[in-house]
Amino acid sequence: MADSFPLLPVSQEQLKELVGAMLVYKQYRFLKTQPTEERWQTLLILECLIPKLYCGVGIQEGAKPLWLTVDDVRVMKIGLATLLDQLNKKPRSPTIEAEMQRLKKLKTAIEQTFKTTQD
């Protein structure tokens, strides 16, 4: 049964970066967006998603499956796209460029792994 679920092909370092990105996105949604039903749903999903992702950090032997919902995947895709958009608005620097490259790699891995989920 577990073979039918796609595995997210990310390294431990990338998983840590994904956790960090989702924490930043959660803060952004809370502080910078208008209070709407959609915002509250996103914040609730993030509240559950971040610990799920964090559970995979530090696992050395074998891959620990992360049971992600369609909403989890949708929020990760939107969150990474939003963070990339926000970084794109900042003045270019080597640090910004490096962060954008890391986020783009994560976004690509998620999009390729979960092609069948609805956006």
Domain ranges in the chain are 10-112
- Predicted confidence at residue 115, as pLDDT, reads 79
- Predicted confidence at residue 35, as pLDDT, reads 94
Low-confidence ranges of the chain (pLDDT < 70): 1-7, 59-65, 116-119
- What's the CA gap between 119 and 117, in Å, rounded? 7
- Predicted confidence at residue 51, as pLDDT, reads 93
- Predicted confidence at residue 63, as pLDDT, reads 56
- Predicted confidence at residue 12, as pLDDT, reads 84
Comparing CA positions, the residue from 26, 27, 31 lying closest to residue 46 is: 26
- Predicted confidence at residue 73, as pLDDT, reads 92
- Quote the tokens at residue 40: 């509250």
- Predicted confidence at residue 3, as pLDDT, reads 43
- Predicted confidence at residue 117, as pLDDT, reads 45
- Predicted confidence at residue 86, as pLDDT, reads 95
- Predicted confidence at residue 7, as pLDDT, reads 65
Going from the C-alpha of 96 to that of each of 24, 79, 85, 99, 107, the distances in angstroms are 15, 17, 12, 5, 16
- Predicted confidence at residue 4, as pLDDT, reads 46
